[in-house]
Amino acid sequence: MSIEIPSGLTDLLQDFTVAVLRERPEDLVEFAASHFGKLNESGNKGKRGVKFSEPADADSDVDDEPPELPRNRFSRRKSVCAEKYDPEADEEGENESKIVFPKSDEQRARLAASVKNILLFRALEKEQMQQVLDAMFEKRTQPGDHIIDQDDDGDNFYVIDSGMYDIFVNGNKVGAYNNTGSFGELALMYNTPRAATIVATTPGSLWALDRLSFRRIVLKNAAKKRKMYETLLESVSMLKSLEPYERMNLADALVTKKFADGECIIAQGDDADGCYFIEDGSVRITMKNKDDPTKEKEIATYSKGQYFGEPALITNNPRAASVYSCGSVRCAFLDVNAFERLLGPCMDIMKRNIGHYEEEVERMFGKGPK
């Protein structure tokens, strides 16, 4: 069954999410009632039908004025946020000259170590990741420096190299970073003012990525990746039962993995770490001969749009077969945690498929794969 998402719903929920992240309310239900109540009152005054994600007028009194805070030495600008960035409409970004900040070998080593666990960068291709590293620049910080100030426009995304930083919302400390982490992406992703103030409490160092580079490398790639994976997932018959938003969440969780000809993707007997959806190429599935483990017999071949590796995740058993690439192969990988979280609606279908698979193996081998 196809469900049409009402116009404006995405913007409405996006604005509410940003408001929650900014205010961090203790009672989420009460906050939601107040938030949507204000929007309803605004609508009754003749504003119904506008996109809630559009920036408010400069003299808007919807939000209380935050406490006066010292100005930071990075000269943060204060104004209404710029227009929303549309990754699909940004054709000029492809031809923009790439920003490169020269770095020493020591700086590059520190930068690579700082960004290796950043979730936003996980889906980037090698070339795109290199563009990010080239475009990032170092900022040294001192105690008392305000890195970002609540309600300012977003100018940079920051990755912590070293140092400790306190987080303030409406003048109240709500958390801290200790020599690791990243911040500043919300204002760049959702085109909203800064949701918090970040103040350095020790000497330290940050790596910064400017607003334009962040959008044209990270956000544009994320949009292209999602669209590509959604198209791939639509071709997987097992996933037809997923709602559109469930398929979208699944697309966001996938990571591309490439394999050379003859490479072992899954080894029989190994623990399961995830499952694979074939983007391009084909693979062959083999099982060891029980009487002679040095020999393997091919039991199936899979190609684009098919998936493998899920039986061990469903049964919590070791891998029952090996999988080898036939030529160059590109797969979308879903790790075990995301598998359990996102593919619940498809579990019954997958269990039935496993039953058919085991029957086929028994027909070929005279016994099950265990």
Q: Which amino acids are annotated as binding site for 3',5'-cyclic AMP, given as ranges?
A: 185, 194, 310, 319
DSSP one-letter string for 13-70: HHHHHHHHHHH--S-HHHHHHHHHHHHHHHIIIIITTS-TTSPPPTT--SSPPPPP-P
Calpha distance 9→35 (Å, rounded): 15
The Cα-based distances of 14 to 54, 235, 286 in angstroms read 11, 28, 46
Cα dist. 20→32, 34, 152 in Å? 9, 12, 17
In degrees and rounded to multiples of 5, residue 163 shows phi and psi of 105, 165
Query: H/E/C letters for each residue in 130-198?
Result: HHHHHHCEEEEECCCCEEECCCCCCCEEEEEEECEEEEEECCEEEEEEECCCEECHHHHHHCCCCCCEE
Please give the Cα distance from 223 to 149 (Å, whole number): 28
Helix axes 220-234, 244-253, angle to 10 degrees: 120
State the distance between the two ends of the chain, measured CA to CA, in whole angstroms.
Answer: 38
Binding site members: 185, 194, 310, 319
Tell me, what DSSP letter sits at residue 290? Answer: S
Q: How many helices (H) and strands (E) does the chain have?
A: 11, 14
> For residue 271, which amino acid is it?
D
